[in-house]
Structure 1
Amino acid sequence: MEDKSYKEYLPNITTFIFDVDGVLTDGTVTIMTNGDMLRRMNIKDGYALKTAIDAGYNICIISGGSNLGVQKRLEGLGVTDIYLGAHNKIDQLKEYTERKQIQLEHVLYMGDDIPDVPVMKCVGLPTCPQDAVNEIKSISKYVSHKNGGKGAVRDIIEQVMKVQGKWNANFDAKYD
């Protein structure tokens, strides 16, 4: 259930950390005859990630999956901190935040399933897509009205950036 007070956290967010499967994708996998697994990502989520990077936010991906296509897509958007094959996500969270000297209360994490629970309990603003499992919804301070892979990432990035006056702040200057 959405906690109305989540908006109080938005002005202090400096860092976005996302899971991949079920958050940046819709959680389905198409298995090809050669064994390759294909995932679908939302272009609007990609735009929001790129916009956040360009505005100076820290963006990190921590995922149990290890798909080369996912990595290439994220790198193409400018994401440089990508942890794939992460089975104990707390280790990657700790390494990343210590290396970047990020305070956990300034971190927004979006996850959708049980492996995300430990990280979500550590960060300032745990969030999830609408179709996350109940255990994740119960510990989230914000549940997006969008499903994973269907704009949930865009939803929360846009909210944070609007509150901080950074969402399309240079739109007029770029397109005059």
Structure 2
Amino acid sequence: MSASEAAIAAARQVRVLVLDVDGVLTDGGLYYDAAGDVSKRFNVQDGLGIKLAQAAGLVVAVITGLKSKAVEKRVRELGIKDYHAGHTAKIPLLQQICDAHGVQMSQVAYLGDDWVDAGPLRSVGLPMAVCNAQPEIRDMAAWVSTVPGGHGAVRECIRFILEAQDKLGILWEEWKIR
């Protein structure tokens, strides 16, 4: 089985998608204003992708190393209930998410970009990376986006999973008649 076939087979089993934030949901930039407050840039297509994943029955969760009011607000806007901020040791939280949703690690996809994501990538059924991830992270991934983090990589990852599960076309048909 080729890597692509293996990734498709793994994507068919996915019930939970876990995302990193900085460099995945954002472009990784930290924008400081004069008062020292940080803002972050999110891609609206990623947001719709998350809503599509949820509509298709996937659980979307976020584990991030940094705490940010902007991220918390965006995650809540997207209806993501499994949000864990300020954690660089991600495997215990990943296991907690699996336990809460009654899934095995083999039913989890994880999208990351940097060394802090190595543990989860090694543990899940479908390790995924953004194309601008660190080389070690790309090497661990069964699937790599064609666009960088913060620029639609999450949407691309969700399209891949939903297409493998034969759900993308059904969702598209629903959206065409809205």
**Smaller-chain TM-score bracket:** over 0.9
Hey, what's the Cα distance between the residues in 2 that align with 1:164 and 1:18? 19
Hey, what's the Cα distance between the residues in 2 that align with 1:33 and 1:172? 47
SS at match of 2:35: coil
Hey, what's the Cα distance between the residues in 2 that align with 1:141 and 1:67? 29
| Residues 75-114 of structure 1: pairs in structure 2 closer than 5 A | 75-114=76-115
- Unpaired segments ≥5 residues, structure 2: none
Is the counterpart of residue 61 in structure 1 residue 62 in structure 2? yes
- Cα-to-partner distance string for 1:3-44 (whole Å, 9 max, x where unaligned): 323122121111100000000001111111111111101000
Which portions of structure 1, spanning 4 or more consecutive aligned residues, are displaced by more than 2 angstroms?
2-5, 170-174
**Partner amino acid for 1:3?**
A
- Cα-to-partner distance string for 1:120-162 (whole Å, 9 max, x where unaligned): 1000011110000011011111111110001111111011112
SS at match of 1:62: strand
| Residues 18-167 of structure 1: pairs in structure 2 closer than 5 A | 18-167=19-168
Identity across matched positions, percent: 32
- Cα-to-partner distance string for 1:78-98 (whole Å, 9 max, x where unaligned): 111100111211121111111
**Partner amino acid for 2:13?**
N
Hey, what's the Cα distance between the residues in 2 that align with 1:166 and 1:138? 28
Structure 1 pair 10/76, CA: closer, same or farther in 2 (3 Å)? same
- Cα-to-partner distance string for 1:40-97 (whole Å, 9 max, x where unaligned): 0100000000111122111100000111111111111111110011121112111111
User: TM-score by structure 2 length?
Assistant: 0.92
Hey, what's the Cα distance between the residues in 2 that align with 1:100 and 1:15? 8
**Partner amino acid for 2:73?**
K
Structure 1 pair 165/36, CA: closer, same or farther in 2 (3 Å)? same
- Unpaired segments ≥5 residues, structure 1: none
Taking only aligned residues, the RMSD between alpha carbons, in angstroms, comes to: 1.6
Structure 1 pair 133/170, CA: closer, same or farther in 2 (3 Å)? closer
